Amino acid sequence: MSDAGPSQGANYSPSVGRRQSVAAALATEAASVGVQHPNARLIESFYNAFARRDGRAMAACYGAEATFADPVFGLRGAEIGAMWTMLCERGADLRVEARDIAADAHAGRAHWEAWYTFSASGRPVHNEIDATFTFSDGVIASHRDVFDLWRWSRMALGKKGTLLGWTPLVRKAIRKQARKSLDAWIARSPEHAT
């Protein structure tokens, strides 16, 4: 008969099991008294800056070599801060709320929602996004936002988005137009390109 016990399995180590139990208990206790990991506070600061439409403060949360990806953009370095600054400055009626923020030394996540008027069509958008992060040296090293681009296109583009937003052709056109807008904005605001 194995000493591992019925629920621990053959590779159970009592000292590892105790360390994991202690770590879980400490994490639960920290959460119950409101203590957050510094990277969770970084994510919270990022979304608080977004809610204030402070793109420069958002940009400061990223490392110089950071990467960002979502269904529209794939960005690196200073382009990330430029994108957020552009969106904040253009979003006159932008409202952002974040929740379910969690992080440890290596990775983090959040769920966030944005409400705004899409300027190209004048249509209201309510986008729901799940974000994941990795960290290095106290800043964001990578950030990935996941959302339903077809759902977004139905809200932002209306009938065209409803009928064609799922097609690769329209998705490519959305990405191309977004990139063109960012490049034009950077050209007019070169301080965001470095």
pLDDT in tens, the chain (194 residues): 444 444 444 444 444 444 445 445 445 544 544 568 999 999 999 999 999 999 999 999 999 999 999 998 899 999 999 999 999 998 889 999 999 999 999 999 999 999 999 887 888 999 999 999 999 999 999 999 999 888 888 888 777 766 665 666 666 777 788 888 888 888 887 665 55
Q: Report the Cα–Cα distance between both ends of the chain, in Å, rounded.
A: 65
By the 8 A CB rule, do 130 and 144 touch? no
E-state strands within 39-179:
62-69, 74-76, 95-103, 107-118, 123-136, 139-146
Determine how many CB atoms are found less than 10 A away from the CB of residue 153.
25
By the 8 A CB rule, do 75 and 68 touch? yes
Q: Please, what are the domains in the chain?
A: 38-192 (3.10.450.50)
Pairwise CA distance, residues 132 & 111, whole Å: 9
Determine how many CB atoms are found less than 10 A away from the CB of residue 154.
19
pTM of the model: 0.75
Nearest CA-CA partner of 71 in 194, 165, 134: 165
Q: Give a three-class secondary structure readout of 132-165.
A: EEEEECCEEEEEEEECCHHHHHHHHHCHHHHHHC
